[in-house]
Amino acid sequence: MRPQTIQIFLPAGDPRGMRVAEITTRIVRVIEVPRSQLADFLKMPEAQQVGVYFLMGELSDAGLPRAYIGQSGNVGNRLVQHNQNKDFWNRALVVISLTNSMTQTHALFLEWFAIQQAAKAGRYSLENGNTGSQPYTPAPLLADCHEIHETSATLLATLGQPIFEPLRNATTVPSEKELFCCKGSGADGTGEYTTEGFVVLKGSRGRAENVASIQGTSNERLRELLVKEGVMTVQNGLYVFTRDHLFPSPSTAAMAVMGRSANGWVEWKAANGKTLDEVKRQSVTVAG
């Protein structure tokens, strides 16, 4: 991470309408297009360019925002097609080159790489089917692609879509990371409390059975959906997390691991035995 200056232009003066973002020293531009303003975007010259686009929309059943990643030699025409045949999205974010120098070769690699990185981050439920294999990209173009991706990732996050951002506190010094464990009835989960919620880490093991008190409730349905979406898989009679997953609260995270209602502030404990509550809440006092 390094300091950067980002410029956001509002063509209609509406902060929730179309927004155009760019880093002042780069040639990459991201245009955020509300679906209701697609016709306005089509009038812009950028709509006729080669580009990579991200369709963002409603939440999946498991609570993840849904996204579709694509590319086209004419992004405007492709968005018109998606407007007719894809229901879930409400905003498109289009990545183009200020110098109109992005080629179809760039776009094909950027689409493939973006899908890989978004899946790795695990923040969004991707609507893409077969991700395919890495397209052939000559070395000079490959260097361009990585710079374009880095810039677009920063701009997407700035516009409120951190599709490539890791769930964990990546800026925290590893030795200072505070990991918490939740154990019992065969479950053995490990997680991290972040500014966005509680992240249960890949490899954590959860109890497969649901206790009677949550059967037929939204908690049971959430666990089923996590399995359906591949966040957890059944191994040796336990639920195993296949990737890091962000929960809105420590208690929801503990419930997913334990298969029962749980107070996550008490269930998650640090290596020294202190609860999450003791480490993160009781340690905060009024100055004076």
Strands 6-9 and 19-23, bridge-based pairing: antiparallel
pLDDT of residue 3: 84
pLDDT of residue 200: 95
pLDDT of residue 26: 92
Distinct helix (H) and strand (E) counts, the chain: 8, 14
The residue to which tokens 């200072």 are assigned? 176
Q: Which of 106, 102, 278 shows the shortest CA–CA distance to 180?
A: 278
User: Residue 254: what residue type?
Assistant: A
Strands 125-126 and 65-72, bridge-based pairing: parallel
How many Cβ atoms are within 10 Å of 9's Cβ, its own excluded? 11
pLDDT of residue 175: 41
For the chain, how big is the Rg over CA atoms in Å? 21
The per-residue pLDDT string of the chain (288 residues; one tens digit each, 9 = 90 and over) reads: 678 899 999 999 999 999 999 998 999 999 999 999 999 999 999 999 999 999 999 887 777 889 999 999 999 999 999 999 999 999 999 999 999 899 999 999 999 999 999 988 888 989 997 667 888 889 989 999 999 999 999 999 999 999 998 887 654 444 446 899 999 888 999 999 988 889 999 999 999 999 999 999 999 999 999 998 889 999 999 999 998 999 989 999 999 999 999 999 999 999 999 999 999 887 666 555
Residue count of the chain, please give it.
288
Confirm if 27 and 99 have CB atoms less than 8 A apart. yes
Q: Which of 102, 107, 1, 100 shows the shortest CA–CA distance to 53?
A: 107
